[in-house]
Amino acid sequence: MSSKETSSFSEAERAAMQQRAEELRSMKGVKGSAKRQREYDACLTAIAELDGTDRLVAERFHVIVSEEAPHLDPKTWYGFPSYALDGDVITFLQPASKFDTRYATIGFNERALLDDGEMWATSFAVVDVTSEVEERLRMLVRRAAPSPEGTE
């Protein structure tokens, strides 16, 4: 049996892991503002490489995060446009095209402050960015990553 036959990861999942490894290699030894700029550029490139609805959702989400949580740093994470606080990804967009799904997903990681009792959602399917969807995403981003004290 080949390793491809015994692996529990799909080809798309393996490609995403390889992309993450490349992201880490490309940042090795880069620090401070140079690192933030390189990660920002990588995020914009990842968005620009998307097509159709994926690109529309990613572009709008980038604007929303930039306006609602400017203290988050744009970067890529497994090739996804993502936004981090102190290096930890808070929120990200998983394009539908990445895993051949029917919708893009806006996801929030553990550090996102979305806790709501005993159970809460951490990912949201997005097929279009209407005014209602945009307002809900803005609320989620504000809640997930409130501005640090003393900043706006």
Distance CA 22, CA 130 (A): 35
Q: What is the pLDDT of residues 78-125, one digit of tens each?
A: 999 999 999 999 999 999 998 899 999 999 999 999 999 999 999 999
Class of domain 9-144: alpha beta
Chain segment 40-90, per-residue pLDDT in tens = 999 999 999 999 999 999 999 999 999 999 999 999 999 999 999 999 999
- Going from the C-alpha of 19 to that of each of 13, 22, 64, 98, 148, the distances in angstroms are 10, 5, 25, 12, 31
Domain residue spans in the chain?
9-144
Closest CA to 125 of 96, 103, 98, 95: 103
Q: Which element (helix H / strand E) includes 54?
A: helix 52-68
* Model confidence, pTM: 0.80
Return all residues near 55 (Cβ < 8 A) that are at least 6 apart.
47, 48
Q: Taking a C-beta distance cutoff of 8 angstroms, is the pair 144, 91 a contact?
A: yes
β-bridge partners, 74? 83
